[in-house]
Chains A and B, each alone.
Chain A
Amino acid sequence: MSIMEYNGSAVVAMKGNNCVAIAADKRLGQRQMTIDTDFQKVFPITERTYVGLAGLATDVKTLHDRFRMRVNLYKHREERVIEPKTFANLVSHMLYEHRFGSYFVEPVIAGLDKDDQPFICNMDNIGCIDLADNFIVSGTAGENLYGTCESLWEPGLEPEELFETISQALLNAVDRDSMSGWGAVVHIITPSGVITRELKSRMD
């Protein structure tokens, strides 16, 4: 089994009409055994930018700490809040620094820039950025997510519609993956604020 599949995860992000959504499952496992059903994989970086980390749990935690440190330093030095695109480039740089001994994580970044334009992207474990206009998937349920997102997503969804779409896409994808699931968290980022909801799913 690959190291990326040891803990299990599913992260997905979608673009909507002046909004973005990012969601992840809550399972933490050790191979087949589930050891936590409330494990956080999506973290706020600023009020309008979130990062979801799929992959090895220890690297998820460590990278979140490192991102927090770098972003706080940026905020204090530059006296401004980091934009999603800039943060994505920062993450890419940080990952590539470990090109030959990488973090086992595939991050997903979702946010609104200062002009309220939606931004989503993900990258591989060494920082290759993949920008998308529609949706971004990552984790052990990634392939499943591609299927559900492709069928359910359409452009121009409003925040509530986007919530329904991303929730259905995530829930149905993780139900076909033994390594992810056990509940989910969804964040909808809009110009007026972030709506966070927990989803009840099949608890297996």
Chain B
Amino acid sequence: MNRYSFSLTTFAPNGKLLQIEHALAAVGNGSTSVGIKAANGVVIATEKKTGSSLIDVSSLEHMVMVCDSIGMVYSGMGPDFRVLVNSARKAAQKYKRMYMEDPPVRILVKELASIMQEFTQSGGVRPFGVSLLIAGVDDRGPNLYQVDPSGSYFPWKATAIGKNMVNSKTFLEKRFDSDIDLEDAVYTAILTLKEGFEGQMTEQSIDVGVISTIPTTQADGEPKMPTFQRLTPAEIKDYLSNVA
């Protein structure tokens, strides 16, 4: 057994922290998730793979809202994701309490990445076994970030994480264009997931979340900033029927 791989706080001679490598392997075993930054919004999507047909898929929470303008999805270990969702929501509300506005996506990402990094340098803990895709809209427009177990974060125009990330990213590279409309981006995200999907893809087996940069007009004429939306199964079914 490699003597550098059990203690997180020990560097191996090759400069790596083996626990983080193992965490990334855990991510690589998880269901694929994709994200695409469109000109007028961001879409994130994930496979909801279940072992058995008896599972009530509609109550699985893979795609979550962190605050009104930010949503998150993961690949890797579900329970670790839940802990990070709580931390993210709390961090967002803490920011809101101080500044009365939602945090910019880059600020929330930094905060989450910082939490994940802590677990690579403290005693007696292990890194989180998830990579996150964080999608949101702020003063800079649409944002898509990936955060890894090490605490590294990357801004992406389009990306995939999890089991099928290599093929998915190749697929996205061919199809991505920075002027892509949000609607087209949703189709592309679903197509990308479909590429690596084992079996029949239905509206119950994927989760899609979108956030747009275009304000909507309320009944009283005041513009309202859009919030992060999880697409309903009916909406996903619509997209799927046009894709198939």
Contacts and interface: CB of A to CB of B under 8 A. Distances in A.
A77 B100 contact: no
A17 interface: no
A86 B110 contact: no
A77 B98 contact: no
B97 A93 contact: yes
Nearest to B110: A77
Interface residues of A, number: 9
A90 interface: yes
B99 A90 contact: yes
Contact of B98 (A78, A80, A85, A89): A89
Interface string A92-117: 01000000000000000000000000
Interface of B: 97-101, 104, 106-107, 110, 139
A13 B104 CA distance: 30
Contacts of A93: 97-98
Nearest to B103: A78
Nearest to A85: B100
Given A77-B110, A80-B139, A90 B98 contact: yes
A87 B120 CA distance: 35
A92 B66 CA distance: 25
A93 B96 CA distance: 11
A165 B98 CA distance: 34
A95 to B, nearest CB: 12
Given A77-B110, A80-B139, A86 B100 contact: yes
Interface in A40-80: 77-80
